[in-house]
């Protein structure tokens, strides 16, 4: 009897290898592709960081020519530079941020980090300071070797109290800042005359009144809830608040006589974490302090900054503030060129090697922790600023 299913052909064994081999080949090709991608990614990651720099441009040779050390050239591969040329790099570039961290890390291995760079900075420049050396002004200088250049010095307007226009202070960075010495008994009235005439509303104090047994700055403000007259300027100390890194005092100033109806508030910030000729113990202290100042009311007046001489701590803080602003806006950043420019406006700015090192440390800290922290109370203001 014939089987009813005997006419159906049995499956061919010749098709089985094809069904197995094709998927196997696809799996092998996929594995090879993944290995290639991973290898290529790792290979690219091991290339010198400097090849990723997005933008490099040069300053003219006659501007801050001494500002860049020769031993930074290896960080900018495939860029031909004259040893007298400076480098500006786009701070928005992630690769530059990595470069900066690498550069600072390497310099930290030296016995005196950044000493070569510091020695290359220009010292006292051949700029006149004749007003500061006049006999009638000599007693107004706290230190004989720290004098304001004529071209950038703050000139006071004569008033009913004094006809002198001299104060040991310089405008910095197109009058964004005033760098000045800490007031002495002879200059307190001039200091408040300057604040009044230039309508300043923020003062940054980076020195204590007494340090290491020496007077560094007189108390140029009245005690809390008291009013004192300095020349024709009346100062009322309305409030004091204490914080981890600083003391915030609020003053109300007015002028006697014809301007007695005019008055405004002064915010006085004393940063208490900065020893003389030294640096703060932690970089986050200065970043926290600066962020508080950043959220003060917008103003077009100059920010008054002083320590004792008005060059070391003062120059370091102003340099940090300028560079962090440039980082935030994506502008080009050059630490040594910035210090050089400051020294063109006031002698001896950034006075010590460790202060230059501290500037680099703060920039790296800012990169690692983000541009800034926002106080909860300042979120609406910051949101409106960036939108």
Alpha carbon separation from 103 to 85, 108, 178, 221, 364 (Å, rounded): 18, 9, 32, 44, 10
Share above pLDDT 70 across residues of the chain, in percent, rounded to a whole number:
72
pLDDT of 157 over the 70 cut = yes
Cα–Cα distance measured from residue 118 to residue 170, given in angstroms and rounded to the nearest whole number = 22
Average pLDDT over residues 172-192: 97
User: pLDDT tens digits, residue range 212-256?
Assistant: 999 999 999 999 999 999 999 999 999 999 999 999 999 999 998
The confidence score (pLDDT) of residue 294 equals: 85
Q: To the nearest 5 percent, what fractions of the chain are helix, strand and coil?
A: 40, 15, 45
Total length of the chain:
387
Average pLDDT over residues 50-57: 29
Q: And the tokens for 103?
A: 């550069």
The confidence score (pLDDT) of residue 316 equals: 98
Alpha carbon separation from 252 to 180, 296, 379 (Å, rounded): 21, 16, 27
- DSSP 3-state assignment of 301? coil
Sign (positive/negative) of CA torsion 51, 55, 58, 59?
negative
Residue 287 contacts residue 369 (beta carbons within 8 Å): yes
Q: What is the mean pLDDT of the chain?
A: 79
Long-range contacts of 259-268 (CB under 8 A, 24+ apart): 264/199, 264/201, 265/201, 265/238, 266/195, 266/200, 266/201, 266/202, 266/203, 266/235, 267/201, 267/202, 267/203, 267/296, 268/202, 268/203, 268/205, 268/221
Cα 93 from chain centroid (whole Å): 18
The confidence score (pLDDT) of residue 125 equals: 92
What is the pLDDT confidence band of residue 257, given thresholds at 50, 70 and 90?
confident
Long-range contacts of 227-231 (CB under 8 A, 24+ apart): 229/256, 230/188, 230/189, 230/191, 230/192, 231/159, 231/161, 231/162, 231/189, 231/192, 231/193
Comparing CA positions, the residue from 274, 307, 293 lying closest to residue 201 is 293
Comparing CA positions, the residue from 147, 164, 169, 175 lying closest to residue 231 is 164
Residue 175 contacts residue 304 (beta carbons within 8 Å): no
The confidence score (pLDDT) of residue 124 equals: 80
Q: And the tokens for 259?
A: 């301007």
pLDDT of 25 over the 90 cut = no
Which domains does the chain show, CATH number per domain?
130-386 (3.90.190.10)
Cα–Cα distance measured from residue 195 to residue 235, given in angstroms and rounded to the nearest whole number = 11
Cα–Cα distance measured from residue 213 to residue 227, given in angstroms and rounded to the nearest whole number = 28
**Nearest-5° angle of CA 329, CA 334, CA 340?**
125
- DSSP 3-state assignment of 15? helix
User: pLDDT tens digits, residue range 280-327?
Assistant: 999 999 999 999 998 776 678 999 999 999 999 999 999 999 999 998
What is the pLDDT confidence band of residue 53, given thresholds at 50, 70 and 90?
very low
Average pLDDT over residues 124-141: 95
The confidence score (pLDDT) of residue 329 equals: 82
Cα–Cα distance measured from residue 353 to residue 228, given in angstroms and rounded to the nearest whole number = 40
Residue with tokens 């005997």: 6
The confidence score (pLDDT) of residue 160 equals: 85
DSSP structural state of residue 50:
G
What is the pLDDT confidence band of residue 99, given thresholds at 50, 70 and 90?
confident
The confidence score (pLDDT) of residue 279 equals: 95
Cα–Cα distance measured from residue 131 to residue 147, given in angstroms and rounded to the nearest whole number = 9
What is the pLDDT confidence band of residue 114, given thresholds at 50, 70 and 90?
very high
Out of 145-149, 186-190, 281-285, 370-374, least confident range: 370-374
The confidence score (pLDDT) of residue 87 equals: 34
């Amino acid at each position: 009897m014939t089987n009813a299913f005997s006419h159906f052909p049995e499956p061919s064994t010749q098709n089985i290898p094809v069904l197995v081999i094709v998927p196997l080949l696809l799996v092998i090709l996929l594995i090879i592709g993944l290995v290639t991608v991973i290898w290529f990614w790792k290979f690219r990651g091991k290339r010198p960081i400097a090849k990723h720099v997005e933008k490099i441009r040069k300053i003219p040779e006659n501007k801050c020519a001494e500002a860049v050390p020769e031993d930074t050239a290896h960080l900018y591969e495939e860029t031909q530079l004259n040893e007298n040329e400076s480098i500006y790099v786009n701070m928005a570039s992630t690769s530059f941020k990595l470069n900066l961290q690498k550069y600072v890390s390497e310099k930290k291995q030296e016995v005196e980090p950044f000493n070569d760079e510091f020695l290359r900075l220009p010292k006292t420049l051949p700029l006149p300071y004749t007003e500061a050396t006049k006999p009638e002004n000599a007693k107004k200088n706290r230190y004989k070797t720290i004098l304001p250049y004529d071209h950038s010095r703050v000139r006071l307007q004569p008033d009913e109290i004094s006809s002198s226009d001299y104060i040991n202070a310089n405008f910095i960075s197109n009058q964004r800042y005033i760098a000045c010495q800490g007031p002495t008994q002879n200059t307190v009235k001039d200091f408040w005359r300057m604040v009044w005439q230039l309508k300043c509303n923020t003062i940054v104090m980076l020195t204590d009144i007494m340090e290491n047994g020496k007077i560094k700055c007189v108390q140029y403000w009245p005690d809390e809830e008291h009013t004192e007259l300095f020349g024709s300027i009346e100062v009322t100390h309305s409030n004091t608040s204490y914080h981890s890194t600083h003391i915030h005092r609020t003053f109300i100033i007015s002028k006697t006589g014809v301007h007695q109806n005019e008055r405004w508030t002064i915010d006085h910030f004393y940063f208490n974490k900065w020893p003389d000729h030294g640096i703060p113990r932690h970089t986050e202290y200065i970043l926290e302090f600066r962020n508080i100042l950043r959220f003060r009311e917008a103003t077009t007046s100059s920010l008054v900054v002083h320590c004792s001489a008005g060059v070391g701590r003062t120059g370091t803080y102003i340099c940090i503030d300028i560079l962090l602003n440039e980082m935030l806006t994506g502008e080009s950043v050059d630490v040594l060129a910035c210090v050089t420019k400051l020294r063109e406006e006031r002698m001896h700015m950034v006075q010590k090697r460790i202060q230059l090192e501290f500037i680099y440390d703060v920039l790296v800290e800012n990169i690692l922790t983000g541009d800034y922290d926002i106080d909860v109370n300042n979120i609406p203001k910051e949101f409106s600023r960036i939108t």
